[in-house]
Amino acid sequence: MNETRSSKNTTLADFIWKNADDLWGDFKHTEFGKIILPFTLLRRLECVLEPTREEALETVASLSGEDIDLGVVLRQITGYPFYNTSNYSLATLGATRTRQNLEDYISKFSDNARVIFEQFDFANTIARMDKQGVLYRICQNFADTDLHPDSVPERVMSNIYEHLIRRFGAEVNEAAEDFMTPRDVVHLAIELLLDPDDELFINNPGLIRTLYDPTCGTGGFLADGMEHIQSLRDRYSIAPVVVPHGQELEPETHAVCLAGMLLKTLESDPGRDLSQNIKLGSTLSNDQYANERFHYCISNPPFGKKWEKDQAAVVREHQEKKFEGRFGPKLPRVSDGSMLFLLHLVSKLEAPERGGGRAAIVLSGSPLFNGNAGQGESEIRRFLLENDYVEAIIALPTEIFFRTGIGTYIWILSNKKPTTRQGKVQLIDATSLYTPMRKSEGNKKRMVSGEQTRQIVNTYSAFEETETSKIFHYEEFGYRRLKVLRPLRIKIVISEEGFAALDNEKAWTKLSDNQREAWTSILVAHVGREHEYDWLEPFAKAASKKNAALGKADKALIKAFIGAFGVRDPDAEPVKDGKGNIVPDDDLTDFENVPLGTSIDNYMASEVLPWAADAYVDLSFRDEQDRDVGVVGYEINFNRYFYRYQPPRDLEVIDAELKAIEADIAALLNEVTA
């Protein structure tokens, strides 16, 4: 990203936002964005249509009353898939009937452009502005703002939209950056997606490919991805044609994306309305592209966002369709839905028999490791790895996103890996490949330059072991979680402490006062004496038979006695149940993660038994899928694979630094006390 150009974008965006100065007092600051954004979009569309405005109006007048589809003719005149037939513009609305004329102006847009303003509920906004007496002034302000594509190129305009949305989000304390992906990250993801298809594009000039973003926001991934592909013309004789598809949850950001797509055309199909490919609704619960597949998928879902609003629909699909639907494995916790998008993207990849598909998704670090064996997150990783969908995972530098400085990762997914990659996963550590930004944007203090992007892509393409590239068979991320038991070893010691503990046992408190007194008188005779574990039950049952005042010595009461008077003794014999089976000590139960392919017996012999000779594996603790002992889990620990030892600094150096600091402190104290 050119920082000088970025500064210009910000300056123009700030100029547009200055319209808020005319809204103070009449509107809440949290409402400014819903006024400024649609006016910006309106002015942009107006500027785009301005060169053909007179011709369009003359055509409407000349064809009035004739049985002809005006829309077809007007789209040919404008060169875009939208038009406007109103005699008004922002500059000619007039000061007396501004609202009525503006409403007429907007109503004369073609349907695909008019929906943009409907999603902002712009009609009500206009009425309120008119009532407060600010409508004409704002219209004039925007009429004087040049947003024509010759003055403000598409990429600059996209940056302005995003700057305004960030500003609006800050005003209402919302995470507006959730809708945006930095351009450098977009370029990197697009390059990673396209790189394996270089030869395909060279041998098939102008090949048509589909690109899908299920969380498209303002359309940054789609629009900039298309433009970036066009910039690769020097690589291919004819650049591939990318047809965008997307879905967005929020109406306002969806409207911005629609406006951007209205201004895009395909060389192979210039009359096509690409805005029709941008759908509104929640991708997880209302997939607008059900049963459709794409050559390329790309997404940057919000990090750590709850999916409780989609929960009912997702759970229903999971239960009813299982692996025939999108969410076959177990589901992740409701607190973070990012892994659901991993599953969703896999379901959207073009079928292998039709060439297959590839996907890139930007995620935080938690999908790599959260969830224990058998839980939803681990089962999703298991599904992806065992079905060989994961090609590579790239660790990105921190502080490259607008809203967060945390570590992020790009997952590359594929359902048709080349032979050399089959069964393998490449991990790339690109955390050190960044360029500091002279002016930070929120939490974004770093960027990945074009040269660094190529370096990362080349590392991925080479598929070789280096200091920053590691290649693993997918099973190396897997393990079996064993439940390791230890025998219960206790003795019975009747003591004052035990009597005090007995008062907390429910079965004891249910007894009558007379029964508790009778039992106490019998047990107190054994104070200070130790007994084997199996002494207590026969003793209690025999006592209750001899003395009716004690009541029945049932299992609950005996358990209460054991709980109060039982004392763990590592030298005691293991406790056994009525069938002669060893009773495990729940307090000593532990779990061990045994790498897949490692013998459980060998692992126990080397890693457990030397420190706990009586430990044994719970054979009933089995995996739900393969029914073998131990529950299968998967996790990907980047730090383990790319750990670099940092030797401690020399003690003499540290000592010298401490003495220097002490001297500075002493000097400061002398100045204060002098």
> Among the listed ranges 37-41, 144-148, 153-157, 167-171, which one has the minimum average pLDDT value?
167-171
Task: Give the model's pLDDT for residue 180.
Answer: 67
Comparing CA positions, the residue from 241, 365, 351 lying closest to residue 293 is 351
β-pair type (530-532, 490-493): antiparallel
CB 183 within 8 A of CB 29: no
Task: Give the model's pLDDT for residue 179.
Answer: 47
Task: Give the model's pLDDT for residue 174.
Answer: 47
CA–CA distance, 116 with 138 (Å, rounded to integer): 19
Comparing CA positions, the residue from 296, 347, 341 lying closest to residue 321 is 347
Mean pLDDT over each residue of the chain, to the nearest integer: 89
> Which comes out higher in pLDDT, residue 1 or 589?
589
Average pLDDT over residues 525-551: 89
Task: Give the model's pLDDT for residue 6.
Answer: 46
Residue-by-residue DSSP string for 100-153:
HHHHHHHHTB-HHHHHHHHHTTHHHHHHHHHHHT-HHHHHHHHHTS---TTTS-
Q: How confident is the model at residue 165 (pLDDT cuts 50, 70, 90)?
A: confident
Helices 183-194 and 220-230, packing angle to 10 deg: 60
Task: Give the model's pLDDT for residue 166.
Answer: 67
Task: Give the model's pLDDT for residue 53.
Answer: 94
Looking at the predicted structure, is the pLDDT value of residue 163 above 80? no
Average pLDDT over residues 452-465: 96
Q: How confident is the model at residue 418 (pLDDT cuts 50, 70, 90)?
A: very high
CB 113 within 8 A of CB 84: yes
Strand, helix or coil for residue 413: strand
Q: How confident is the model at residue 674 (pLDDT cuts 50, 70, 90)?
A: low
Looking at the predicted structure, is the pLDDT value of residue 649 above 90? no
Looking at the predicted structure, is the pLDDT value of residue 465 above 90? yes
CA–CA distance, 94 with 467 (Å, rounded to integer): 68
Per 3-state DSSP, the chain is made up of helix, strand and coil in percentages (nearest 5) of 50, 15, 35
Work out the number of other CB atoms within 10 angstroms of the CB of residue 674. Answer: 5
Task: Count each helix (H run) and each strand (E run) in the chain, helices first.
Answer: 26, 18
Question: Token pair for residue 363?
Answer: 């995620």
Which tens digit of pLDDT belongs to each residue from 335-358?
Answer: 999 999 999 999 999 999 999 999
β-pair type (566-568, 490-493): antiparallel
Work out the number of other CB atoms within 10 angstroms of the CB of residue 200. Answer: 14
Which tens digit of pLDDT belongs to each residue from 229-274?
Answer: 777 777 777 888 899 999 999 888 898 889 889 888 887 777 789 9
Work out the number of other CB atoms within 10 angstroms of the CB of residue 611. Answer: 7
Which tens digit of pLDDT belongs to each residue from 549-560?
Answer: 888 889 999 999
Where are any strands of DSSP class E within 442-562? Answer: 444-447, 469-473, 478-485, 490-493, 530-532
Helices 98-107 and 122-132, packing angle to 10 deg: 170
> Among the listed ranges 226-235, 276-285, 490-499, 597-606, which one has the minimum average pLDDT value?
226-235
Which tens digit of pLDDT belongs to each residue from 565-575?
Answer: 989 999 888 98
> Among the listed ranges 219-223, 313-317, 351-355, 475-479, which one has the minimum average pLDDT value?
219-223
Comparing CA positions, the residue from 69, 52, 118, 253 lying closest to residue 261 is 253
Task: Give the model's pLDDT for residue 352.
Answer: 95
Q: Where are the alpha helices (DSSP H) in 433-505?
A: 450-462, 496-502
Average pLDDT over residues 632-642: 93
Question: Token pair for residue 643?
Answer: 């750990």
Q: Find how far residue 414's CA is from the centre of its chain.
A: 19
Amino acid at 626: D
Which tens digit of pLDDT belongs to each residue from 238-247?
Answer: 888 899 999 9
Q: How confident is the model at residue 1 (pLDDT cuts 50, 70, 90)?
A: very low
Task: Give the model's pLDDT for residue 269.
Answer: 79
Q: How confident is the model at residue 10 (pLDDT cuts 50, 70, 90)?
A: low
The CA distances from residue 360 to 295, 299, 414, in Å, are 12, 7, 9
CA–CA distance, 162 with 156 (Å, rounded to integer): 10
CA–CA distance, 445 with 299 (Å, rounded to integer): 22
CB 400 within 8 A of CB 365: no
Question: Token pair for residue 298?
Answer: 């790309």
pTM of the predicted structure, to 2 decimals: 0.84
Average pLDDT over residues 388-399: 96
- Most confident range (mean pLDDT) of 60-69, 505-514, 640-649 is 505-514
Looking at the predicted structure, is the pLDDT value of residue 463 above 50? yes
Amino acid at 191: E
Looking at the predicted structure, is the pLDDT value of residue 172 above 50? no
Q: How confident is the model at residue 412 (pLDDT cuts 50, 70, 90)?
A: very high
Q: How confident is the model at residue 8 (pLDDT cuts 50, 70, 90)?
A: very low
Looking at the predicted structure, is the pLDDT value of residue 150 above 90? no
Looking at the predicted structure, is the pLDDT value of residue 210 above 90? yes
* Percent of the chain residues topping a pLDDT of 70: 96
> Which comes out higher in pLDDT, residue 29 or 193?
193
> Which comes out higher in pLDDT, residue 642 or 380?
380
Average pLDDT over residues 300-320: 93
Which tens digit of pLDDT belongs to each residue from 295-306?
Answer: 999 999 988 889
Sheet harboring 208-213: ordered strands across?
Answer: 278-280, 241-248, 208-213, 296-299, 358-364, 408-414, 390-395, 424-429, 469-473
Task: Give the model's pLDDT for residue 58.
Answer: 92
Looking at the predicted structure, is the pLDDT value of residue 42 above 70? yes
Task: Give the model's pLDDT for residue 622.
Answer: 96
Work out the number of other CB atoms within 10 angstroms of the CB of residue 135. Answer: 21
